[in-house]
Amino acid sequence: MGASKTDSFTEGQQAIASIAKALGHPARVAIVEYLLKVDGCICNDIVDKLPLSQATISQHLRALKDAGLIKGSIEGNAICYCVEGKTVKRLQSYIAGISAKLTAKGTECC
Amino acid sequence: MGASKTDSFTEGQQAIASIAKALGHPARVAIVEYLLKVDGCICNDIVDKLPLSQATISQHLRALKDAGLIKGSIEGNAICYCVEGKTVKRLQSYIAGISAKLTAKGTECC
DNA sequence: TCGTAATATCGCAATATTACGATCACCATA
DNA sequence: TATGGTGATCGTAATATTGCGATATTACGA
């Protein structure tokens, strides 16, 4: 035993967890930041920007895509990736919800 | 090789990644939600609420505490955990920043 | 001080992640 | 049809996570 007991939690909890997990590695945070900075949402210049191999970056891109945080469309013989606003907003409103409940509560208890 | 190449990224990226990673498991999302729901921020009723052993929950609590997402104070012979607003707000404003940059950009490119 | 409830930690097994080199597949264009 | 650039995938090694039972540890009350 020891595998992720992922079922036995709600859909919502799993959905948030999987988005958060995708952002749970500095390389992927860096990739998202890069995609935001580059205005054209260009593709694999990323390989030159990060100290990781092409294979590894491709894996991270896949993780981000699986989580719905980015999407890519074929653009000639390259691929154009960009951040998917919908998913970002979903995470954003979830965190905002937590934050709101906290301030509604008033004092932090401990 | 194969270990996390975590260095070679900025402090900020690592900080966000570690907070996000802490939320990257449904059990931990569930724990945070529970701590928000319970008004008194009570301790280990959690063991009864989740289908996980006490040892496992204690581990998840530690992960959340290490990430700064919760804090605990000793309360008699029990422990009172609660969500740490400061860290939630940090994540919140980071995600809001991404979201803002996206809408500033106008159309999603791909 | 003894017993008991609440937590933390240790040690282990199962599984997942991270990273890379080596290919493979695809498309454009020479 | 070759050739080169772009990206995905495979195989593999190193490491991390997840989960649990067993065992501390700590604090309270009898």
Please check whether strand C approaches the CB of B18 to within 7 Å. Answer: no
Residues B33-64: tens digit of each pLDDT? 999 998 677 878 999 999 999 999 999 999 99
Show Cβ contacts of residue A42 under 8 Å, excluding neighbours closer than 6 positions: A78, A80
Q: What are phi and psi of B32, to 5 degrees?
A: -60, -45
Note which residues in 39-98 of chain A have CB less than 8 A from chain B. Answer: 39-41, 51-52, 71-73, 75, 80-85, 88-89, 91-92, 95-96, 98
- The helix-helix angle for A26-37 and B85-105 (nearest 10°) equals 30
> Which single residue is written with the structure tokens 């740490």?
B84
Residues A12-38: tens digit of each pLDDT? 999 999 999 999 999 999 999 999 998
DSSP conformational letter for A58 = H
Q: Which residue ranges in chain B fall short of pLDDT 50?
A: none
Q: What are phi and psi of A76, to 5 degrees?
A: 70, -130
Residues A83-101: tens digit of each pLDDT? 999 999 999 999 999 999 9
pLDDT at B44: 80
Rama region for B65: left / alpha / beta (φ>0; ψ in -120 to 50; rest): alpha
Check residues B101 and A4 and name the one with the higher pLDDT: B101
B107 touches chain A (CB under 8 A): no
Residues A37-69: tens digit of each pLDDT? 986 778 789 999 999 999 999 999 999 999 999
Comparing CA positions, the residue from A94, A102, A79 lying closest to residue A13 is A94
Sequence letter at residue A100: A
Please check whether strand D approaches the CB of A101 to within 7 Å. Answer: no
Show Cβ contacts of residue B11 under 8 Å, excluding neighbours closer than 6 positions: none
> A36 near A83, Cβ under 8 Å?
yes
Average per-residue pLDDT for chain A: 91
How many other C-beta atoms are found inside a 10 Å radius of the C-beta of residue A67?
22
Residues A67-76: tens digit of each pLDDT? 999 999 988 8
Show Cβ contacts of residue A28 under 8 Å, excluding neighbours closer than 6 positions: A22, A60, A63, A64, B17
The Cα–Cα gap between A28 and A19 comes to 12
Check residues B41 and A1 and name the one with the higher pLDDT: B41
Q: What are phi and psi of B89, to 5 degrees?
A: -65, -35
> Which single residue is written with the structure tokens 């996206």?
B102
Show Cβ contacts of residue A62 under 8 Å, excluding neighbours closer than 6 positions: none
